[in-house]
Amino acid sequence: MRNYIAVFAGMLLLLPLSCTDSTGPGNQENGRISITNNTGTLAARVTYFDDAIDLDSVGIGYPSAPASFASAPLGRGSAASQAGWVLKLKAEVAPPSINGQQLQATAVSIVGNLAVVSYGMAGSAYLGAVDVIDVSNKNQPALVSEALFQNADMFAVTTSGQNVYVAEATGDTGFASPAVFEIMQLQGNQLVLSGNRRRGLSSFVATSVAASSTRAYATSGDAGALFGLNPATLAVTDSIPLHDARWVAVAGGKIVVIQGTPGKLTVYNESNMGLVGSWSFAGADIAESKSQADIAGGKAFIAAGDSGVQVHSIATGLKVGAVPRPNPDSLGLSPSVVVTNAVAIDQDLMFISNGEAGVYLAQGSQAFSTTGSEVQQTITVRGKLRFGNLQSVNHVALANGILIIAAGLGGLKIVQVTNN
């Protein structure tokens, strides 16, 4: 249970700050949010690389790995690259801090040429942040905007057009519950305070956000729901009570919700919010834990905690595949820190976040988006991505040849994924 902090709920004045950038909206502050759009200042948080990423395929928590991949680096000339892929670390982004307190990355969303990242604070203090990263230059991604939040943790974030949607928990006693949905605006590719709005939700934490062309969606936790919201007015258009709603995704006219304790896949038609079905899956049974999903080919690829990745049809709930989590004992780690909390899909590649065990690469026998939703999936674990200083991983996102790894207090790792 969080300790809730009472704050003064008054009118906040917009105070533009000086900025050395010659173009763009400049730095901004209102007492609750402090935005830095000075790219020169933000560049200090970024370190650039051009390093091939090795792949460990032995001693990774599985009984064995394919012989052709044993001890092979996932760089140019390796067996993996001969199979069609090259991975290179391009940049690391240090996490922001507020009053000397370092935040940890919680989630990443890549939409077009922008990646948005949410941050929160471990412990009882409510502190958070949102980063915007321009990934149009895959060789040199740029941190272009940073928003620091007093009295709120950020748990998930996404974009749609000029809107940035944030799922958060706040200590602001002006809301009936800590769970809050927030909209920020982009001017170009940088955040501004103009148009900033918040809507209170039920439960203690807003756990995720998603967007279609016309609506935004959010989930909140144990006593929460799936919410549909009008982005223009922030009016709640739909509210469906759901136990332990952990993640929402929108794809192909379907709204996909991942629930926990116990694990459940619940799907609605976006057109009328009619229920398609609700099906149980193995895992997501650790209380107050994260469970995320990626959607491809009519299938939900579910990060299911101690049950690894579970793959189910979103039309019928049929289980069509799975990737077990690594064995904590063989890694010398506590089971509590080896949990599958995120999965990212692109073509035939699957990147899996396994907490302190790190990021694993698996590969489908075919592209996941082209195999039918009822077709059994052949998925082979290729190995573990080797980094020199990887922290516990909270999230992975993959799109447009860019993989971003949210490594908690270790910040972000930005990896270029290219077809050899």
Residue 387: pLDDT band (50, 70, 90) is confident
Cα–Cα dist 371/207, whole Å: 30
pLDDT in tens, 159-189: 999 999 999 999 999 999 999 999 999 999 9
Cα–Cα dist 340/394, whole Å: 9
- The predicted model gives 348-355 an average pLDDT of 95
Q: 385 pLDDT exceeds 60?
A: yes
Residue 301: pLDDT band (50, 70, 90) is very high
C-beta of residue 17 within 8 angstroms of C-beta of residue 25: no
Q: Quick one: pLDDT at residue 84? A: 65
Running DSSP on this structure, what letter comes out for residue 213? Answer: S
Burial class (CB in 10 A: 0-12, 13-18, 19+), 13: exposed
Q: 192 versus 391: which is more confidently predicted? A: 192
313: how many CB neighbours lie within 10 A of its CB?
21
Q: 311 pLDDT exceeds 60?
A: yes
Cα–Cα dist 396/19, whole Å: 32
Residue 4: pLDDT band (50, 70, 90) is very low
Burial class (CB in 10 A: 0-12, 13-18, 19+), 113: middle
Residue 72: pLDDT band (50, 70, 90) is very low
- The predicted model gives 361-368 an average pLDDT of 93
State percent of the chain over pLDDT 90: 78
393's tokens: 């991983």
> For tokens 């509590």, what's the residue?
336
Domain range annotation of the chain: 28-419
Q: In the predicted model, what is the mean pLDDT of the chain?
A: 88
Name the least confident of 164-168, 194-198, 243-247, 409-413.
Answer: 409-413
Residue 223: pLDDT band (50, 70, 90) is confident
CATH tag, 28-419? 2.130.10.10
- β-pairing, 127-134 with 319-323? unpaired
C-beta of residue 275 within 8 angstroms of C-beta of residue 256: no
pTM listed for this prediction: 0.89
Q: Quick one: pLDDT at residue 22? A: 55
Q: 104 pLDDT exceeds 60?
A: yes
Burial class (CB in 10 A: 0-12, 13-18, 19+), 67: exposed
Residue 64: pLDDT band (50, 70, 90) is low
Cα–Cα dist 315/110, whole Å: 26
pLDDT in tens, 116-156: 999 999 877 899 999 999 999 999 999 999 999 999 999 99
